[in-house]
Structures are given as structure tokens and as C-alpha cells.
Chain A
Amino acid sequence: MRNDPTHSWQGIVWTFLVLGIPVAVAALLLAATGPVLSRVVTDALIKLTMVVGLYIFIGNSGIFSFGHAAFIVVGSYASAWMTIPPTFKKVILPGLPAFMQSIHLDPFTGGLVGVLLAVVLAFVIGLALMRLAGIAASIASFAFFSVIVVIYNNWTGWTKGTASLVGLPVYAGPKLALAAALIAMLLALLFQYSRYGLLLRATREDAVAARAAGVEVERMRLIAFVVSAAVVAAGGVLQGHFNGALTTTANVHLNLTFLILAMLVVGGMRSLAGAVIGVAILAFVAELLRQLERGWQIGDVTITAPSGLGQVGLGIVMLVVLISRPQGLTKGREIPMPGWLSRRERQGDANLIESTQNAR
């Protein structure tokens, strides 16, 4: 961990800037080229928000969650209920109770309601789920996701069931998505730097030893779970108001889960740099393959790749990266601070690290 800059506040600032500035510059430049790329960029930034949200829990606790898509579902539907204009809502969702019919909040407050609902849900579910560890926790989180999807799928009066819910005000553009992604990154860094983050990472390395040293493992996990659910739900809210439509189809959410987990793992699930790089690379590859599927022109001939190629390509890219670098592209490291920025800092750090290593 000698190169981990996130142990000092200077390092936090450094990491935020060194990751945030390229993301912001690239996003704004690409978005300025035209509506097509602008949409691609917005989509990637929303994914980045979700991946960073996942990272807050998975990266720090070391527990895989397959259930975070539930927070996307819960958050985005709640925001839809709050923000669809009442006149419209009466037509689309006649099954909604009267007091819900009349509610009409502005996008920000509506989104906040979505995030808050996800937070409450994460807290209640987390109280139970966080007692589990390892594979059991992953399976239980997946079971939780399935329960939520089945409920939303059959709760037709409120969600329109398997038919998709349309009519959400479309307000999410590249700038808003960028702001969300940057806030998510800052939040992740602050959490990582806080004592909760540190204690949680101690439980990740060795749960038994951390417990013996007095760390309340379940409580630390719960805190991270709730924060992470909030960020992921915010991503979900933005996605809903980016597409203008929502669905409860399990497969759509499973594919999304796969994609954002893949982004995290390919980049390296134990560093924020990994989360950012993973999103950048897989979003790029996915877009490239989507173009291929749509077809491209050579002279008079249009060549189209068979549908499914995009997913196969994505799967293969992931397999190759994982097999050649099981720890992800960044191997779980942050981008190191240059020496002239951290010299004074490093001295103290190095002594500390040396003494702990001697103690081992």
C-alpha cells in the first residue's frame, strides 16, 4: 500500500483531480461534437456514477453484491411517480392511488425522494444481509434483487408491470451526468479516507483479525452499503430521466448488473482509478461493437455483424482482461502522486509502514 495516495488529504485531492479532470474534459469535448456522441457520453457518465456507487461497497468491503440493481429499480420508479405530470399520470398509471396522482415535484426533489427510498430500503435489508459474508452474501443479495423485481413486475397498478413505464420528464444531459459522476467520485474518496472506510477495508483484508481488534464488522458494512445504495440509486434516477422510460424486466437489469460489475472488475475493483478506467474502456468497446452491429459501409455494400456480437465481444474482452490480469487493469492501485507533491507526507507514511511491517 506504499503507493496508495488516499491515506492523506492531499492524496484525496490529487486522486480526485487526476481522475476527475480527464473525465470532465473528455466528456465535455465529446459531448460538444454532436447529439449522437452526447448521448453516448451521458450514458457512460451515468454508468460511471453507478460503478462508483458499487465500488464504495464492493471495493471497500470485498463482498460482491449482485443486488444493487434493486436500488436502481426502486429509485427510478419512485422518481417517476414524483415527477410525471399529474395530467399525464392519470392516463399512464390509472391504478395509482389518488394522493400519488396529484403529486408533482420538481426533478431534483423527485430524484431525492427516489434516492431516499433506496437508502431506507438499503438500511432495512442491510441490517439483515450484512451479517453474511462471502458467497452467501452475494447469493442473498441476488435473492433480494429477485424479490424486488418480482414485486415490481406484478405490482401492475403502480409500475405497469412488464409493460414499460413511459412519460418521465427527460432532463438528464451530459452536464448533469458529469456533475453526478464527479460528486459520486468525491463521495467515494471521502468515504475511503474516513475512519469508516479504513475500518471497513481492515475487515476486507482479514475479518477475524479486524473483529478481534474491536471493529464492528456488520456496522461498517452497513454504512458502506447504504452510501453505495444512495449513489447507485442516483445513477438509476438519472438513467430513468435520460431514457424517459423504465422497465421491470429482470433480464434488462441483469444485463446492466453484469455490465457495471464487469466495468468495476476489469478496471480493478479495489481502487477508484480502477472503477473510472474500467468504465472508460468498456463503454468504448461497447459503443464500438454497437456500431459494428448497426453496420458500416464500404462502397455500396453495408456490412452488418450478426446481433449478439456486441455482447460476445464484451464478454471476450472481459475474459481476456481477467485472465491476463486477475486483479484488474490497475491491480487495485490508485494513480501514484508524483514525489514532489508528496515528499514530506511520504516520510511520515514510510516510517509508519516500515514499523508495521517490522511488527508483522
Chain B
Amino acid sequence: MDLLVQFIIDAVSVGGLYALTAIGIGLIFGVVGLVNFAYGDFVMIGAYTILLTIGFYWPVTILIAALVLIMVALAADFVAFRPVRLASPETLMIVSFALSYTIQYTYVMMFGSLARTVNFLPAMSTNLEIMGIRIAGVSILQIVATIVLTGALAAFIRFTRIGYQMRAVSENPTMARLVGVDINKVIAAAFIASALLAVTVSVLYVAQTGTMTPFLGLNLTIIGFVATVIGGMGSLVGCALGGFLVGFLTTLLQLALPADLQPFREAFVFGAVVLMLLLRPGGLIMLATARERI
């Protein structure tokens, strides 16, 4: 029983982190149609900003990281993505790929490729004992952050004017523009929202692992993609669901696989992804708007 509760908490906290990453990627895909490979690098930039501003009181550190990421995301949109907005989705994807590569190696140039360690929010790595079950503070933070942010984002998209416009653009950009939606403003808003999600992931990641390399974004991006595709591209609920599913699967395999198969864990996860895609190519939640029309 305790083992089961422990497992569920682990799975939910890992899944929460993945879900946040997936939502950040899915949000941009839904609104702009861009598969953003550089998203994980936004998280990486956030982590290094925390490293540089660790001397401040921690809310200040988080605030600075958030501001930096918002600027980075807006700059990325303005410099790299806006000029190719009308190009094919594949071209957009490669542009983001190139951006990601450039960001990664810029950080290698500045900080070297070796891992840096930092002790951020040390209070969070202590364990709490609740009814005999050991829970890391970070896990609780992860679960709370996932719930709060997903809720806030959903409310933002549902009830605000710009959220309303976002849904319009995601459904039909041409039509939205014809009825007077300022597309560039809406897309900027989407990038700001995804930057806020990214900074949350940075904070959680640094608090949990305490280390960073310029390449930390790669794994996150891949997991984010996998979750997004499993959940259904463009559907935010689907992204969250996909993130939790991947987190659940990873934790389960960690627990259930015999020791000599442990190294192959990732192979099983990715194998499951391929299988999942074959069974349901559109993802768990397939949007009517995402289906190819004749």
C-alpha cells in the first residue's frame, strides 16, 4: 500500500514536470503551428540564469529568470520565426532546430560543456514524512506547480480576450486575421506564456537535480515532443495527459524492469511511443481542426 502511494507520488511528480514541458511545446504548436525544438533550450537558459543570479533572494532570482526567458522567447519569435511564418511546418521545424543548436553551442562557448552545480532552494530537497511515506519537497512543488499553472493557463485561454483570440488563430489563422485579430500580438502572447512555463520547469529542474549542462534542454525537448505527440498535437489537455503518461511509464519501468534490462529502459519508452503512434496516429485526443482536410 505504502509502496503504491509512493509510486503514485513519484509518477505524478515526474509526470507533472513532463506535462509542463509538453504544454509549453503544445501551446506554441497549437497557436503558431511551430514544432519548437528550441523549447528545451529556453529551459536551459532559465537554469543558467538561476546559476548566475543565485546570490539574490530566491523570488528575485526567479523573477529575473522569468524576465530573461520572456525576452529570449520574444526575440526568438521576432528574429527567427516571424520571417518564416508562411513557410511549411517542416521548414519551421528545421529553423527551430537550427536555433536550438546555435543556443546550445553559444552556451558551450560561454560556460563550457562541463556540468555546473548549484544549490537552489535547498529547503525543497529535504524529505517530508507524511503518514509514514517519504516525500521529497520538490515532488510536492512539482505537483502543485503543475496543477496551478495548468489551471491558470486554461482559465487564461478560456476567459480572457487574448485567450479567445488565441483559440481563433489556432483554429483558422486566415479567418482570424480577416475579422481583425492582431496575429503578431496573439503569437507574442503565446510565446510569453510558454516562456513562463519554461521558467517553471527551469526552477523545478534546478531545485531537483542541482546540476546543469548546455545540453540539458535536449532530453526535455524530446520528452516534451513524445508527450505532445502521444497526447495529440495542439490539444493542451492532450499534452498534459501525454506528459503524465510518459512520466508514469518511466517510473513504472524503473520499478518493474529487472536489473539487467534497466539500461534498456529508454528503448522501452520509445518503443511504446512508436506503438502508440501506430495505434492512434492522431494522439489520444485528436482535434477536429488538426485533421487534414480535403
Contact = CB atoms under 8 A, between A and B. Distances in A.
A310 B105 CA distance: 9
Contacts of A128: 274, 278
B259 interface: no
Interface string B74-88: 000000100110011
A147 B270 contact: yes
Interface stretch (B50-58, B63-71, B92-100, B137-145): B92-100
B102 A319 contact: yes
Given A128-B278, A143-B270, A307 B98 contact: no
Nearest to A322: B95
Contacts of B80: 319, 323
A136 B105 contact: no
Contact of A251 (B35, B83, B84, B215): B215
A133 B278 CA distance: 11
A309 B271 CA distance: 36
B115 interface: no
A138 B37 CA distance: 12
B122 interface: no
A316 B94 contact: no
Interface string A310-336: 111011101100111011000000000
Contacts of B7: none
Contacts of B282: 136
B285 to A, nearest CB: 14
A7 B215 CA distance: 45
A136 to B, nearest CB: 5
A151 B281 contact: no
B294 A322 contact: no
Given A132-B278, A136-B229, A265 B264 contact: no
A306 B278 CA distance: 45
Given A140-B273, A143-B274, A319 B98 contact: yes
B196 to A, nearest CB: 24
Contact of A147 (B93, B109, B267, B278): B267
A154 B263 contact: yes
B84 A323 contact: yes
B98 A312 contact: no
B222 interface: yes
Interface string A252-282: 0010001001100100010000000000000
Interface residues of A, number: 49
B116 to A, nearest CB: 15
A343 interface: no
Interface string B250-267: 000000000000011011
A34 interface: no
B264 to A, nearest CB: 6
B262 to A, nearest CB: 9
A134 B109 contact: no
A142 B273 CA distance: 10
A267 to B, nearest CB: 12
B72 interface: no
B219 to A, nearest CB: 10
B277 A136 contact: yes
Contacts of B233: 135-136
B70 to A, nearest CB: 21
Contact of B294 (A138, A208, A311): A208
A140 B108 contact: no
Contacts of A348: none
A308 B89 contact: no
A135 B229 contact: yes
B267 A315 contact: no
A125 to B, nearest CB: 9
Contact of B267 (A150, A251, A318): A150
A138 B273 CA distance: 12
A64 B90 CA distance: 7
A147 B87 CA distance: 31
B119 interface: no
A207 interface: yes
Given A151-B264, A154-B264, A315 B91 contact: no
A131 interface: yes
A322 B215 CA distance: 23
B93 A64 contact: yes
A62 interface: yes
Nearest to B107: A308
A308 B109 contact: yes
Contact of A62 (B87, B90, B101, B106): B90
Contacts of A261: 94, 97
Contacts of B98: 262, 315, 318-319, 322
A154 B265 CA distance: 11
Interface in A291-318: 306-312, 314-316, 318
27 contacts: A128-B278, A132-B278, A135-B89, A135-B229, A136-B281, A139-B273, A143-B273, A143-B274, A146-B266, A146-B267, A147-B274, A150-B264, A150-B270, A151-B267, A208-B292, A208-B294, A261-B94, A262-B94, A262-B98, A308-B113, A312-B105, A315-B105, A319-B98, A322-B98, A323-B80, A326-B91, A327-B87
Given A208-B292, A308-B108, A327-B91, 10 more contacts: A136-B283, A140-B277, A146-B222, A146-B270, A147-B270, A150-B270, A208-B294, A254-B218, A307-B109, A326-B95
Interface of A: 62, 64, 128-129, 131-136, 138-140, 142-144, 146-147, 150-151, 153-154, 207-209, 251, 254, 258, 261-262, 265, 269, 306-312, 314-316, 318-319, 322-324, 326-327
Interface of B: 35, 80, 83-84, 87-91, 93-95, 97-99, 101-102, 104-106, 108-109, 113, 215, 218, 222, 225-226, 229, 233, 263-264, 266-267, 270-271, 273-274, 277-278, 281-283, 292, 294
